[in-house]
Amino acid sequence: MGVGIKVDKLNAWFGKTQALYDITMDAPANHATAIIGPSGCGKSTFVRCLNRMHETVPDARAAGRVQIGELDVYNGTSAVQIRRRIGMVFQKPNPFPTMSIYDNVAAGLKLNGFHDHKRLDEIVERSLKLSALWDEVKDSLRKKSGASLSGGQQQRLCIARALAVEPQVLLMDEPCSALDPISTGKIEELIFQLKEKFTIVIVTHNMQQASRVAEFTGFFLLGKLIELDKTEKIFTTPSDKRTEDYITGRFG
Amino acid sequence: MTGPQPIAKPEVAASSDVQSQPLLGAGNSHVADAIFHLAMLACGLCVLALVGVILYELVKGSRLSWHAFGLKFFFQSEWDPVNEQFGALPFVYGTLVSSFLALLLAVPLAIGVAVFITEMCPRWLKGPLAFTTELLAAIPSVIYGLWAIFVLVPLLRQYGEPFSARYFGWTGLFEGPPYGIGMLAAGIILAIMVVPIVSSITREVMTAVPQQQREAVLALGATRWEMIRTGVLRNARAGILGGVILGLGRALGETMAVTMVIGNRPEIAKSLFAPGYTMASVIANEFSEATGDTYLSALIEIGLALFIVTIIVNILAQFLVWTVTRGTPARSHA
Amino acid sequence: MPETVTATADFAAAPISLWRRGMNSFATFAAAVSVILVLLPLGAVFGYLVYKGIGSINWAFLTQTPKPVGEAGGGMANAIAGSAFILLIASVIGVPIGIGAGIYLAEYGRNQLGNIIRFTADVLNGVPSIVIGIVAYGIVVLSQGHFSALAGGVALAIMMIPTITRTTEEMLLLVPNAVREAAYGLGVSRWRTTLSITLRTATSGVITGVMLAFARVAGETAPLLFTAFGNQYWNWKINQPTAALSLQIFTYAISPFDEWHRQAWAGALILIVLIVVAVSAVRLVAGRGMLKGAN
């Protein structure tokens, strides 16, 4: 089961430039929370702070409190361990081109020293089924490289790879921005199902997407969280003028 | 270094220069353009012609030897200028052994240096470190040779060779009198010369691995080393192999430093302490003293073999590097 | 946790194994050690050059020609001048051809022929210098009947051309197309645009390439062995054998005389200083950006 996310006064910087200001929000367990906002508003930085990917950028740092279930992200646990519990799907599909489909999915487990082949087979199959890719690739699991798939398939492969390590939270950073509408539809459908098992935070610049997949939506502007509410409320009666301007297309 | 790269075609409006220039007077710009184009084309063709000339000269020069000895030339070990019997096997052997020894020593170090510079060291140290390691490539071969004669060889004679004979003598690779001068010294000095090439190519291909690959591995909960291994080295391996092969090309053709320390004796010995001879050094030592046409021709044939081998090696290396760097350069996230 | 999550749940919560942390530290350590192992010979070479060479550099060394064996003193003045002479010949031949070929590749070379030339230049770059020596011997020494500065110059020119060609091309391609189009828009012809606008914008980058080529061939010895050949005396004739710094270092290094060894170190120090100055100047220019007005 997924666990909830609590963020308290999260600040982030790139060098001397502050990218996030005092973000405080909750993302409830087993729901999808969408993060929207114009480009450059810090929404990507925000999700990258949740699993401490942000600090892998040179000179970047973050401070504040992030709680994922029982786990205190910025306190006491190593980044490596945090990332193992939190799956992440990136903007551009990034399967490992030198690995087969099977090895791509198993990569996270193998890294963690998991070599029980029978169990691996099961987990790979289950993960690919969860990401709705199984039927398309089951005959060429070990023959085809991850890079030989189509863009949409690659992204679903990346989702399977993230799911294989059995995370509690799945972070998605504009997972459909590089995909065609049909693949996007498939991924959205998938997100809808995955909510039952995981807590999902999805960054998107596509407001329709947010309204289709997420129960909650947060609006970011210039590094600040302007408001976070039920998706329906955000898109119909936002309480902040700036949110209204954005969703009605007055800027961004 | 990186081979042919597709670069966006400069869309120059070819017709716009035809438009007349009222103030300057319409005139010969057409003709001048054509002449200029031809002149530049001629320069470009010079490059092609050079390789043609090199090949022609070498083939022409080696004909005599080729007719006298045929393919056997490379499989016979007798090198007797007095009786005009020439076999290049000892030189081929010496070249191969010294080069592989060099790669054996250089490749792990070069990859380590590349990994350290691209993935591990603090940013302010990157530039200076990269510059310093590349400075190694700027030192002329003859200076390496000078240094090797007066510093490396005495060190090997006094410490290196007695030490390795005592502990690894049983392999048979480290036995015999420790002259200092010999195959081992040549291999070590070649290794020092090859490191900057392999490491700069390795750095280039590692940098070409997209940032997303690193992030994908990190997000799965990998340590930094696992990220480097799975996300970077694995993706760059073809290009790294290309760099290694390019280093091999350099080692095969390297002349002066090797000539100064290898001992220059056309013998095939198992021990790395024994003196040897390489293809390049025999040309360097004997070419200007070669009496007799067959002798000279035999040396030129060795040169031809060296030329062909290094060309094949370079083409292969460039192809491998290109397979990694052809994609988009690494970019961090938005 | 739902019942499906059994395989790894316990194991995800476990701390990172000692083995993995150990491997991570070991890899970092090994990489740092290899950097040290590589910098060590670099330091040793430079250290020895300065240590052994500096004492022997004096006025006589820089102004006199070599003394016969057994006599102390003498210098490498003719060899230094000879190297400069050979490099001059090499650049007179190599720089125009190299730059021309670079211009061709950048401005006209987006076609099959361009690709072939580009590839050939890269291949030429990898040809061993000793082989180039044989070829220069064949085309110059054999036809003239004796060793000469020209033959040495030709050999070095062949080695300079591919480097200059490829850097010139790279630098010209860095010039934004808008610059060219602006010139065409003013009605400037294509050749004038290329020479007065594009090439001029890229001047410092092109000079960088030439300097790199210089640094690369300045210390070359192998191709001079049987072309320039060496000379104990001054020579300014293009068709006569000529001394060169690198040749002199080689001859002295493998000689059995201490006095000559001393001079070899001094000569090597001068050679390396010239090369390092050239390479550092390139680095400095390159660091400032290759193009005028572009940053």
Cβ atoms within 10 Å of A118's Cβ, excluding its own: 7
pLDDT of residue A76: 75
> Which residue in chain C has the smallest CA separation from B195?
C38
Rounded Cα distance between C142 and C235, Å, is 20
pLDDT digits (tens, 9 = 90+) for B135-150: 898 899 999 999 999 9
Q: How far is B210 from chain A (nearest CA, A)?
A: 9
Give the one of B41, B138, B256 whose C-beta lies nearest to C108's C-beta: B41
* Contact: B334, A44; criterion CB under 8 Å: yes
Q: Is the dihedral of CA B19, B22, B27, B31 positive or negative?
A: negative
Q: Which residues contact C188 (CB under 8 A, 6 or more apart)?
A: B17, B21, C196, C197
Sheet containing A60-68: give its strands across: A17-27, A5-14, A60-68, A71-72
| Torsion angles phi and psi, residue A19, rounded to 5 | -105, -30
- Establish if A233 belongs to a structural domain: yes
User: What is the residue-averaged pLDDT of chain C?
Assistant: 88
pLDDT digits (tens, 9 = 90+) for B52-80: 999 999 999 999 999 999 999 999 999 99
- The answer, for A194 touching chain C at a CB cutoff of 8 Å, is no
| Domain tally, chain A | 1
Pairing of strands A86-89, A169-173: parallel
Give the one of B11, B44, B58 whose C-beta lies nearest to C101's C-beta: B44
Residues of chain B with C-beta less than 8 angstroms from the C-beta of C31: 112-113, 115-116, 120
Question: Which partners does chain C have (≥3 C-beta pairs < 8 Å)?
Answer: A, B
CB B116 within 8 A of CB C32: yes
Give the domain CATH number at A226.
3.40.50.300
Q: How far is C197 from chain A (nearest CA, A)?
A: 38
Interface of B with C in 65-94 (CB under 8 A): none
* Contact: B41, C132; criterion CB under 8 Å: no
Rounded to an integer, the average pLDDT of C27-43 is 95
Q: How far is C25 from chain A (nearest CA, A)?
A: 14
* Contact: A165, C8; criterion CB under 8 Å: yes
Burial label for B9, CB within 10 Å (0-12, 13-18, 19+), is exposed
Q: Which of B1, B9, B33, B50 to mutate to test the interface with C (most CBs of C within 10 A)?
A: B50
Q: Which residues contact C123 (CB under 8 A, 6 or more apart)?
A: B51, B311, B314, B315, B318
Residue count (chain B): 334
- C84 band by pLDDT with thresholds 50, 70 and 90: very high
User: CB contacts < 8 Å between A and B, how many?
Assistant: 78
- Establish if C144 belongs to a structural domain: yes
> Which residue in chain C has the smallest CA separation from A69?
C1
Q: How far is A80 from chain B (nearest CA, A)?
A: 5
pLDDT of residue A251: 62
Rounded to an integer, the average pLDDT of B251-274 is 93
* Contact: A84, C12; criterion CB under 8 Å: yes
- The answer, for A178 touching chain B at a CB cutoff of 8 Å, is no
* Contact: B48, C250; criterion CB under 8 Å: no
pLDDT digits (tens, 9 = 90+) for B108-165: 999 999 999 999 999 899 989 988 988 898 899 999 999 999 999 999 999 998 888 8
Radius of gyration from C-alpha coordinates of chain A: 18
* Contact: B214, A56; criterion CB under 8 Å: yes
Question: Range of A53's domain?
Answer: 5-95+167-247
Give the one of B50, B135, B146 whose C-beta lies nearest to C279's C-beta: B135
* Contact: A57, B212; criterion CB under 8 Å: no
- Strand boundaries in chain A, DSSP class E: 5-14, 17-27, 32-36, 60-68, 71-72, 86-89, 169-173, 199-203, 216-221, 224-230
* Contact: B216, A161; criterion CB under 8 Å: yes
Q: To 5 degrees, how large is the angle CA C82–CA C85–CA C89? A: 140
- Establish if C182 belongs to a structural domain: yes
SS3 of residue B221 by DSSP: coil
- C288 band by pLDDT with thresholds 50, 70 and 90: low
pLDDT of residue B28: 65
Residues of chain C with C-beta less than 8 angstroms from the C-beta of A122: 7
Q: What is the mean pLDDT of each run of 10 residues along chain A (252 residues)?
A: 88 93 93 91 92 89 90 84 88 90 91 84 92 90 89 92 90 89 89 89 91 93 93 91 86 56
Burial label for C74, CB within 10 Å (0-12, 13-18, 19+), is middle
Q: ipTM of this model? A: 0.90
Residues of chain B with C-beta less than 8 angstroms from the C-beta of A167: none
Residues of chain A with C-beta less than 8 angstroms from the C-beta of C3: none
pLDDT of residue C185: 82
CB A218 within 8 A of CB A33: yes
Rounded Cα distance between C71 and C255, Å, is 14
- Establish if C129 belongs to a structural domain: yes
Rounded Cα distance between A215 and C217, Å, is 69
pLDDT digits (tens, 9 = 90+) for C158-202: 999 999 999 999 999 988 888 888 888 887 888 888 988 899 888
Q: Which residues contact A156 (CB under 8 A, 6 or more apart)?
A: A131, A132, A133, A186, A187, A190
> Which residue in chain B has the smallest CA separation from C154?
B50
Rounded to an integer, the average pLDDT of B183-207 is 95
Report the range of poorest mean pLDDT among B199-208, C125-134, C181-190. Answer: C181-190
Interface of A with B in 150-169 (CB under 8 A): 158, 161-162, 165
- C18 band by pLDDT with thresholds 50, 70 and 90: confident
- Establish if C166 belongs to a structural domain: yes
> Which residue in chain A has the smallest CA separation from B212?
A94
Question: Which partners does chain A have (≥3 C-beta pairs < 8 Å)?
Answer: B, C
> Closest by alpha carbon to B221, among A107, C44, A1?
A107
- Establish if C52 belongs to a structural domain: no
Q: How far is A87 from chain B (nearest CA, A)?
A: 7
Residues of chain B with C-beta less than 8 angstroms from the C-beta of A59: 123
- The answer, for A110 touching chain C at a CB cutoff of 8 Å, is no
- B5 band by pLDDT with thresholds 50, 70 and 90: very low
What CA dihedral angle connects A70, A75, A79 and A81, to 10 degrees?
-40
- In this model, does residue B7 exceed pLDDT 50? no
- In this model, does residue B284 exceed pLDDT 70? yes
Pairing of strands A17-27, A5-14: antiparallel
Rounded Cα distance between C76 and C82, Å, is 10
Q: What contacts 24+ positions apart, CB below 8 Å, involve A12-19?
A: A12/A42, A12/A45, A12/A46, A12/A49, A12/A54, A12/A60, A12/A61, A12/A62, A12/A63, A13/A60, A13/A61, A13/A62, A14/A45, A14/A57, A14/A59, A14/A60, A15/A59, A15/A60, A18/A223, A19/A45, A19/A223
* Contact: C107, B40; criterion CB under 8 Å: yes
- In this model, does residue B26 exceed pLDDT 70? no
User: Angle between the C18-53 and C258-287 helix axes, to the nearest 10 degrees?
Assistant: 120
- Establish if C171 belongs to a structural domain: yes
pLDDT digits (tens, 9 = 90+) for A62-95: 999 999 888 888 887 788 888 888 999 999 899 9
CATH of B74-325, one of 1.10.10.1100, 3.40.50.300, 1.10.3720.10, 3.30.9.10: 1.10.3720.10
- The answer, for B26 touching chain C at a CB cutoff of 8 Å, is no
Rounded Cα distance between C241 and A252, Å, is 74
Alpha-carbon distances of A132 from A105, A150, A168, A212, rounded to whole Å: 13, 14, 19, 19
Give the domain CATH number at C265.
1.10.3720.10
Rounded Cα distance between C89 and C152, Å, is 8
The pTM (predicted TM-score) of the whole model is: 0.86
* Contact: B212, A165; criterion CB under 8 Å: no
